[in-house]
A and B are shown apart, each in its own frame.
Chain A
Amino acid sequence: DSGVTQTPKHLITATGQRVTLRCSPRSGDLSVYWYQQSLDQGLQFLIQYYNGEERAKGNILERFSAQQFPDLHSELNLSSLELGDSALYFCASSPRPRGRGSGAKSPLHFGNGTRLTVT
Chain B
Amino acid sequence: GEDVEQSLFLSVREGDSSVINCTYTDSSSTYLYWYKQEPGAGLQLLTYIFSNMDMKQDQRLTVLLNKKDKHLSLRIADTQTGDSAIYFCAETAVRRGGSQGNLIFGKGTKLSVKP
Q: Which of B40-92 contact A (CB under 8 A)?
A: 40-45, 48, 50, 88, 92
Which of A11-19, A77-85, A109-117 is the interface stretch?
Answer: A109-117
- A78 to nearest B CB, angstroms? 19
Q: How many A-B residue pairs have CB under 8 A?
A: 75
Do B100 and A110 have beta carbons less than 8 Å apart? no
- The interface residues of chain A lying within 8 Å CB-to-CB of B102 are 33, 45, 48, 56, 58, 98, 108
Residue contact B30 to A48, C-beta cutoff 8 Å:
no
Please pick, from A2, A42, A48, A104, the residue contacting B106 in the complex, using a CB distance under 8 A.
A42
- Structural contact, B45 and A56, CB atoms closer than 8 A: no
Within 8 Å of chain A (Cβ to Cβ): is B103? yes
Q: On chain A, which size bracket covers the interface?
A: 20 to 34
Tell whether, in the assembled complex, residue A110 and residue B44 are in contact, meaning their CB atoms are under 8 Å apart.
yes
- Is A25 on the interface with B (CB-CB < 8 A)? no
A63 an interface residue at 8 Å Cβ cutoff? no
Identify which of A57, A58, A92, A104 gathers the most chain B CB atoms within 10 Å of its CB.
A104
**0/1 per residue, A37-73, Cβ < 8 Å to B?**
0000011010010000001111000000000000000
For the complex of A and B, 6 pairs with smallest distance between CB atoms: A98-B101, A56-B99, A110-B42, A43-B105, A42-B107, A110-B43
- 29 of the cross-chain contacts (CB-CB < 8 Å) are A2-B42, A4-B42, A42-B106, A43-B88, A43-B105, A55-B99, A55-B100, A56-B100, A56-B101, A57-B99, A58-B102, A98-B92, A98-B101, A98-B102, A99-B94, A100-B30, A100-B92, A104-B30, A104-B94, A104-B101, A105-B48, A105-B50, A107-B31, A108-B102, A110-B42, A110-B44, A112-B41, A112-B42, A113-B41
